[in-house]
Chain A
Amino acid sequence: MIKDGRNRYHPMAMLHDYIHLIKTTVPLFFLAFVLKADSSAWLFTYGRYILPAAVICSALYIPVKWYTKTYEILPSAIVVTSKLFTTSTKTIPYSKIQQVKRKTTWVHRLLGMTSLTLETSAEGRDGTVRFDVLRPSEASSMEQRVQQEKPDFERKTFLEKQDQENAQEDNHEQEEVERAEAATPVDQKEPRVIGDEKTIHFKPTKKDLIKASLASLSFLAVIPFAGSRLSDAEDLHFEKQVDGLFESLLSSIGMIVGALTVLTVIGVGLGFVRTYKKYGKYELASTFERIFITKGAWEQDYLSVRKDHVQAVLIEQSLMKRLLGFASLKLVIAGENEGEEEVTSVYPFFPVKRAYSLVHEVLPDYRVLGNMDRLPRRAFYLRLLRPSWIWVAVTAGLYFFKPGSFFIDLPWWAFSSALFVIIVLSRIQGYVHSRFQMDDTFIQFQAGGFTKTLYLSKRSKVIELEVSRNYVQQKSGLASVKLINRANPVRETIMNDVPDEFAERLKVWYTHQTLKRKAS
């Protein structure tokens, strides 16, 4: 203990660091001085000087680091200070610590010590405090300190989890005793039905699946094949004789049509099989607190998600889906198992209206708002006039390198113009698609060019808000807004060129929750 409650780490931490240093560098030494001792490659020639120098520096740095790093246990937070070139003091409130990990390796056991890691939800080193070596008694008291701050329900889930763990086989390694305390209960394999019925919301019919297989476009895979057949046929018949041109043309057209029909049938068939394989026995169901998604005809894929872990809902429509009247429903989920994808697809081929109605059915907390506001007209001109860096880069590239024909023989500027048209079309659609709305609790954005995406979230699920205005936007009274949701780790949703008034309303909307909470 130094003064006013600040502590240095246990001196054994230096030993830990030295062992770590030796562990990591011995293989390198072996490589440089034994295996490649004769090598005159520059890597090894210089490496033989740099490696010992680096090790000496690290070895000297370890005690300095130990001396300059201190921690302080406050009633409600832990403070870590390091004073070297840069003085930095970090405070982590106990309530933010999500995981307390204790790991005792054989070295620790030999010394009668243990290690403790305190993790918050923030990613990386920044949100983690590590005690590489400390006395088990200290570790226990620190763990207790952290847990005392936790409200009761979390302790309960913690105890529950422990009971479940005990009930399962105890497959903890003897060497490494790791104890994790997590805020989320373990994901059960079997759906837990607590008194309430499981409602089935959606099961695709045969007709749905056929339409879906058309929309999935997998039948188009036959086109390159058909194309090559087609050009073969042309060569064959046109060059043969000019006399029977009409006749051969007819026969070749007949052949082409025949071949195409056969291939299309095969393609559609294959597409159907693929779609059936994936969504054949698809089922979307839910109970009061969970959503269940079953996929796959032969191999079943089962997913269960807690409703309160849903951070946002996305309804996505690609160009093809818009033409066929389909929409894809996706959920942004956080707080489920580690390694979970940040966006989970519920089902990609709902009829549009069904997708919208399902949101409220599956997640009664959510509601799709009608009458969304559109962007002002000035936003349209601004978007059209905004330079497209992709187009500039591609055009410059085409101009300088003038690559040879890409299957089709056209001058370079034709591709540049085509790209230009596509970009303009995408921007026009982007303007038309852009809509926004919010009410007491919900926020709803729609955006996107060729692919249109509707984003739905609740105020309580938005973890940060950002409003930005670049120079042109400032002059034209527009703003870009960014909402951050938890995902894996976070997901940003950006809505560009909304009017200033909306941005201001959004700021008030976002901060309003506290006024309400205080009032109640």
Chain B
Amino acid sequence: MEVIMEPPLRQLSKDSIKVWIWKEVIENIIGTAVLIVLFILDRIFSWPVWAGWILYGLVGLTVMGMIWAVFKVKLLQKQWRYGINEDFLYVKSGALKEEYKVIPMTKVQSVSTNEGPLLKKYNLSSVEVSTIGRMHVIPALPKAEAQKLRQQIALYSNVEEEDA
């Protein structure tokens, strides 16, 4: 029997790429600053040779991370899908490691929308869905869509669980 489930269709906002790039830039600036401080300390206190190797290794990883980030943010946005009906929330994400989650509405405990400074800049909002012991995040949706989704999930999940 060949059965295939329809994949969820709703996408993240295109602006999520910009948000993630900003985030990467900020993180990399902080990371680079930390590395520079470490190099200065290395000079001043003449740390052992292996400390230098580790530092060069970290520089390599940071540079690789920066290059990878350019592809990563585009792939993330391209691959993200979510879907919702009265009974389930579906979340699909990732390219190299593809993940598909099915979360029953009855198991949702609370749902929230969050807007940090970067998300605010592009009028976006993230949606966090808490279940028992786990949390699922839809990272960047247009604000109005996120608010609507929060209300929808709250409404659909407002039923008594049949099974404890």
Interface residues of A (CB under 8 A from B): 76-77, 85-96, 120-123, 126-127, 149-151, 154, 183-184, 308-309, 334-335, 460-461, 463-471, 474, 484, 486, 489-490, 501, 504-505, 507-508, 510-511, 514
At the interface with chain A, which of B19-27, B60-68, B109-117?
A: B109-117
B72 interface residue, CB < 8 Å from A?
no
Give which listed residue, B96, B110, B135, contacts A96 with CB less than 8 A: B110
- Which 10 residue pairs of A and B lie closest in terms of their CB atoms, listed nearest first? A489-B133, A93-B158, A90-B112, A490-B133, A122-B109, A91-B154, A120-B109, A514-B87, A88-B114, A465-B102
How many B residues touch A, CB cutoff 8 Å?
Answer: 49
Name A88's contact: one of B115, B134, B155, B160 (CB within 8 Å): B115
- Which A residues lie within 8 Å of B100 (CB)? 466-468, 507
- Are A86 and B109 touching (Cβ within 8 A)? no
Is B88's beta carbon under 8 Å from chain A? Answer: yes
Chain A residues with CB under 8 Å of B150's CB are: 89, 91
Question: B98 to chain A: which residues have CB within 8 Å?
Answer: 468-470, 474
Considering residues B4, B94, B163, which has the most beta carbons from chain A within 10 angstroms of its beta carbon? B163
Is B49 an interface position by the 8 A CB rule?
no
Contact A95 B110 (CB under 8 A): no
Given contacts A121-B132, A463-B104, A508-B5, contact A89 B113 (CB under 8 A): yes
A147 to chain B, nearest CB (A): 13
Instruction: List residues of chain A with CB within 8 A of the CB of B103.
Output: 464
**B164 lies within 8 A of A183 (CB):** yes
A–B Cβ pairs within 8 angstroms, 23 of them: A85-B116, A86-B114, A87-B114, A93-B110, A93-B154, A93-B155, A93-B157, A95-B158, A95-B159, A122-B131, A123-B133, A126-B110, A126-B130, A127-B109, A150-B160, A463-B132, A464-B131, A466-B99, A467-B99, A471-B97, A489-B133, A490-B132, A510-B102
Q: Min CB distance, B76 to chain A, in Å?
A: 15
B-side interface residues toward A, CB under 8 Å? 1-5, 86-88, 94, 96-104, 107-117, 120, 130-135, 147, 150-151, 153-155, 157-160, 162-164
Q: Are B135 and A126 in contact (CB under 8 A)?
A: yes
Q: How far is the CA of A82 from the CA of B104 in the complex (A)?
A: 27
Task: Let me know if B158 and A94 touch, CB within 8 A.
Answer: yes
Q: Which residues of A contact B99 (CB under 8 A)?
A: 466-468
Candidates B115, B154, B159; contact of A77 at CB < 8 Å:
B154
User: Which A residue sits closest to B113, measured CB to CB?
Assistant: A89
Kindly name the residue among B110, B154, B160 whose own CB sees the greatest number of chain A CB atoms within 10 A.
B110
Q: Do residues A122 and B162 form an inter-chain contact, with CB atoms below 8 A?
A: no
Is A151 a contact of B158 with CB atoms below 8 Å?
A: no
Q: Measured between alpha carbons, how far is A514 from B86 in the docked complex, in Å?
A: 9
Contact B158 A486 (CB under 8 A): no
Across-interface contacts of B155 in A (CB, < 8 A): 76, 93
